[in-house]
Amino acid sequence: MSTSAFHRPEARIGAALLAALGLLALLAPVLSPGDPLAISGLPLVLPFTEALHPLGTDRLGRDLMAGLIHGARISMTVGLLVALVALTAGMLVGTLAGLIGGWTEAILMRIVEAFQIVPGFLLALAFVSVTGPRLSTVVVAIALGAWTGPARLARARVLVLRESDFVAAARVLGHHPLEIALRQVLPLALPPVLSLTAIIVAGAILTEAALSFLGLGNPNAVTWGAMIAEGRNQLRSAAWLSVLPGLALLLTVVAIYLLGEAVADSLGARDRR
């Protein structure tokens, strides 16, 4: 990541928020030991009225702060894993399509277009409904709708790079197309694709929250989407049950967007130079 990106105030704000959320996610077992789904007090305790439950409790007496802390862990884990899977798959498909060309490119890009036809959330909804709401299936389901953007961007970048002299020299020397793609073209095509990381992570967190809100998240884990859904029936009498996890979700997405925009602008400026 370019250090010049951190010269922008919005990048520093986003990085600070993400660092705080990352620490909460990493230290969740220390900051809130035990099962966050366990009943730990009276139901519907108001926020900031009890030292034992600083953010109050839900209708079953579960601590909201524990839920927010452990929910951060789920959201950050899903976002990062989806980005890893989507970027890896997209880079490989885009690089091979752009470098090899011909029928290989045509087939791979038709597959990309087929996945792009279906909205990502509907694809994730259908996949999780069939395979079950486990963490691994949620990650794969969201990644199915997120890998096409990196694939198209990688292909566009490779189409420019494959006309370079070093690629022509490698072909003359008899290097295999796969070796040229992975060792020479892929590292140069990677930076522009990485600029999509923030969009993918933010979209994955929102999609996971939406799935959990609909009851398709892991029932044995606390998620922000499930917390929002749990509190929707008490919006008039206990609005904090949905507002607090909603604010956590909003701050996370905004922080990722601020940092991602600064990094993407920095990479774009470097490419122009």
The per-residue pLDDT for 182 is 74
The per-residue pLDDT for 262 is 75
The per-residue pLDDT for 124 is 94
Question: Which amino acid, one-letter code, is at 96?
Answer: L
Structural domain tally of the chain? 1
Question: What span, in angstroms and rounded, lies between the C-alpha atoms of 155 and 8?
Answer: 31
Question: Is 36 a member of any domain?
Answer: no
Question: Is 48 a member of any domain?
Answer: no
Question: What span, in angstroms and rounded, lies between the C-alpha atoms of 67 and 54?
Answer: 12
Question: Is 252 a member of any domain?
Answer: yes
Question: What span, in angstroms and rounded, lies between the C-alpha atoms of 137 and 184?
Answer: 33
Whole domain around residue 18: which residue ranges?
7-31+58-272
Which residues face 62 on adjacent strands? 39
The one-digit pLDDT tens for each residue of the chain (273 residues) are 445 556 677 778 888 898 899 898 899 889 888 889 899 889 999 999 998 899 999 989 999 999 999 999 999 999 999 999 999 999 989 988 888 888 988 999 999 999 999 899 999 999 999 998 888 999 999 999 999 999 999 999 888 887 788 878 887 888 777 777 777 787 888 888 888 888 999 999 999 999 999 998 888 889 999 999 999 888 888 899 999 999 999 999 999 988 887 777 666 555 555
Write out the two tokens for 168.
């022509």
Cβ count within 10 A of residue 209: 28
Question: Which amino acid, one-letter code, is at 110?
Answer: R
CATH of residue 76: 1.10.3720.10
Question: Is 22 a member of any domain?
Answer: yes
Question: Is 259 a member of any domain?
Answer: yes
Question: Is 107 a member of any domain?
Answer: yes
Cβ-count burial of 272 within 10 angstroms (0-12 exposed, 13-18 middle, 19+ buried)? exposed
Q: pTM for the whole thing?
A: 0.88
The per-residue pLDDT for 63 is 93
